[in-house]
A and B are shown apart, each in its own frame.
Chain A
Amino acid sequence: MSQADLLDQDPVFQLKGSMLAITIMELVHDDLERLDRQLTDKVAQAPAFFQNTPLVLALDKLPESQTTLDLAALMAVCRRHGLRTLAIRASRAELVAAADALDLPVLPPSGARERPIEPGGERKREPEKPAQPDVRPTRVITTPVRGGQQVYAPGGDLLVLAPVSPGAELLADGNIHVYAPLRGRALAGVKGNPAARIFCQQLAAELVSVAGQYKVADDLRRDPLWGQAVQINLSGDVLNITRL
């Protein structure tokens, strides 16, 4: 079914401003072998930090004498250690040209304050600023979720304030809350978080699952809490259903 013609005038995009927290790697030397070794050590200390981490390569602190830097090779080293280069920061003509050749954006040299970060290990931070957990806001649904519909809350919780019909599917990386009858399927912790839970006001589900451990309606109906307000959580690899 093509709605393309009718919707031709509808805006396809919206531009939004944003302040992103981004890691900057300031290079003071162009020795790529040394960089490779040192990065290997860092990755060993904090493997979680180096997973497709967006990166700006700051080359404006490189000594004037070191002009032989191979940008593509530098990016390959970073890439190997889980750092994905978004842009470089530089003003020297040959570096700007190298970046252009790779279709890589060039940012002007920084004036803003930047503080050193220490991935993993001892984080030297001001005590009044604890680490912000990487949690996305809860997705809130206020209208019924009908058969054939699927709602996913990536990276966070899903909160549904209306009935969930048979044939509907709820998915969340975090917890799922349904303040109404849950008659469809609910899968919490779909990326494998075993601490995720499902809460519902009336358990009438076709399937519930936490981190891949599931129960189908046939099992659920035998539970004395069928039809009741319950929470469902995982202990070991057993799904527990308890009264709310």
Chain B
Amino acid sequence: MAKILVVTSGKGGVGKTTSSAAIGTGLALRGHKTVIVDFDVGLRNLDLIMGCERRVVYDFVNVINGEATLTQALIKDKRLENLYVLAASQTRDKDALTQEGVGKVIDELAKTFEYVVCDSPAGIEKGAHLAMYFADEAIVVTNPEVSSVRDSDRMLGLLASKSRRAEQGLEPIKERLLLTRYNPERVTKGEMLGVEDVEEILAINLLGVIPESQAVLKASNQGVPVILDDQSDAGQAYSDAVDRLLGKEMPHRFLDVQKKGFLQRLFGGRE
């Protein structure tokens, strides 16, 4: 049975698209046939981060409007055999998505894919609602700051009350916290919330902590999901998160301030 995952947050710019790309790629790397769907109609950038922006012919809205078939619109990843992307439209606005249309596309994707990863737009309006409405599991991306935690909390309330599972009285959406752009140094200085603070307020299962990392920017500029940079801290942290998603017990890394070694101090270490 296919699993529909939504990567959501409420607040904008916290790392949803980065995380959708990394997690979708990580699932495919582990042998699961996966599609990542960009729900951010009008602001598409999943294709940039996945490095397939020059191969977009048809998009999500074309499929909903019957202007293209799903097979025509799915973009196959260059690197991984069982990874696909469904791009958002850049020329339409978010009203182009309808609940009925989205439901049909998701149902069809669920027939051939093991994982459908939905990259939600920011906010709690229509686009974000449609991205989460059909989900089985939610990955709530949060930055360690008060406003982001608040928006995530709000989104958790909507997941528990306004989703298909909630409305049909099914088992609730499984909620998981992904804390991103975590900077242990700033936490120590009291400029950011710590993992425990965020966990305590949101009171949900912790899927992973992704450190603030230069590797993310580098990866997105190159159009390579950061999880494929297995030397980077962020890439490794995403890898661990995918393993946890698949049920493996993994210790959390990158939570503490790294003491710089002698050579690193001499030559300046990797960020």
Contact = CB atoms under 8 A, between A and B. Distances in A.
B174 interface: no
Contacts of B126: 1
B160 interface: yes
B129 interface: yes
B201 A146 contact: no
Interface stretch (A161-169, A185-193, A207-215, A236-244): A161-169
Given A6-B99, A7-B167, A163 B154 contact: no
A5 B99 contact: yes
A167 B160 CA distance: 16
Given A146-B157, A149-B157, A3 B167 contact: yes
Interface residues of B, number: 19
A183 interface: yes
Contacts of B164: 6
Interface in B96-138: 99-100, 103, 126, 129
A143 B150 contact: no
Nearest to B157: A146
Interface secondary structure of B, over-half rule:
helix
A166 B168 CA distance: 27
A183 B160 CA distance: 19
A147 interface: yes
A144 B99 contact: no
A127 interface: no
A11 to B, nearest CB: 11
Given A146-B160, A149-B161, A5 B100 contact: yes
A148 interface: yes
B168 A162 contact: no
Given A1-B126, A148-B157, A166 B150 contact: yes
Interface centre among B129, B156, B158, by most chain A C-beta atoms within 10 angstroms, is: B156
Nearest to A2: B99
Given A1-B126, A1-B129, A146 B99 contact: no
A167 B147 CA distance: 12
A218 interface: no
A147 B129 CA distance: 16
Interface centre among B153, B172, B203, by most chain A C-beta atoms within 10 angstroms, is: B153
Nearest to A181: B200
A10 interface: yes
Contacts of A1: 99, 126, 129
Contact of B99 (A3, A10, A147, A163): A3
Nearest to B103: A6
A150 to B, nearest CB: 10
B157 A147 contact: yes
Interface centre among A2, A145, A165, A183, by most chain B C-beta atoms within 10 angstroms, is: A165
Given A1-B99, A7-B167, A146-B156, 14 more contacts: A2-B99, A6-B103, A10-B168, A144-B160, A145-B157, A147-B150, A149-B157, A149-B161, A163-B201, A163-B203, A165-B150, A165-B153, A165-B201, A168-B157
